[in-house]
Amino acid sequence: AQSVTQPDIHITVSEGASLELRCNYSYGATPYLFWYVQSPGQGLQLLLKYFSGDTLVQGIKGFEAEFKRSQSSFNLRKPSVHWSDAAEYFCAVGADSGGYQKVTFGTGTKLQVIP
Amino acid sequence: ETGVTQTPRHLVMGMTNKKSLKCEQHLGHNAMYWYKQSAKKPLELMFVYNFKEQTENNSVPSRFSPECPNSSHLFLHLHTLQPEDSALYLCASSQTGTTDTQYFGPGTRLTVL
**pLDDT digits 0-9 by tens, A84-103:** 999 999 999 988 777 677 88
**pLDDT digits 0-9 by tens, B9-32:** 999 998 888 999 999 999 999 899
- The size of the A-B interface in CB pairs under 8 A is 63
CA neighbor of A63 nearest in space, from A35, A94, A105: A35
Q: Do B106 and A96 touch (CB under 8 A)?
A: no
Confidence (pLDDT) at B99: 67
* C-alpha dist (Å) from residue A113 to A38, A58, A80: 15, 22, 11
Confidence (pLDDT) at B1: 56
Q: Do B42 and A43 touch (CB under 8 A)?
A: no
B75 touching A, CB under 8 A?
A: no
Backbone angles phi, psi at B2, to 5 degrees: -125, 165
The 10 Å Cβ neighbour count of residue B86 is: 17
Q: Which of B7-11, B55-59, B71-75 has the lowest mean pLDDT?
A: B55-59
Radius of gyration of chain A (CA): 14
Radius of gyration of chain B (CA): 13
Q: Do A99 and B96 touch (CB under 8 A)?
A: yes
User: What are the residues facing B24 on neighbouring strands?
Assistant: B5, B73
Span A5-30, average pLDDT: 94
**Candidates A32, A49, A100; nearest CB to B48:** A100
Alpha-carbon span A83 to B83, nearest angstrom? 35
Mutate to test the interface with A, among B54, B59, B96, B102 (most CBs of A within 10 A): B102
Polymer length in residues for chain B: 113
Interface residues of A toward B, Cβ cutoff 8 Å, are 4, 32, 34, 36, 41-46, 49, 51, 90, 94, 96-108
Q: Do A43 and B96 touch (CB under 8 A)?
A: no
A-chain residue closest to B42, CA distance: A107
**pLDDT digits 0-9 by tens, A19-48:** 999 999 998 777 899 999 999 888 899 999
Alpha-carbon span B101 to B92, nearest angstrom? 10
> Are B109 and B9 contacting, i.e. CB atoms less than 8 angstroms apart?
yes
Tell me the chain A residues in contact with residue B43 when contact means C-beta distances shorter than 8 Å: 90, 105
> Are A92 and B102 contacting, i.e. CB atoms less than 8 angstroms apart?
no
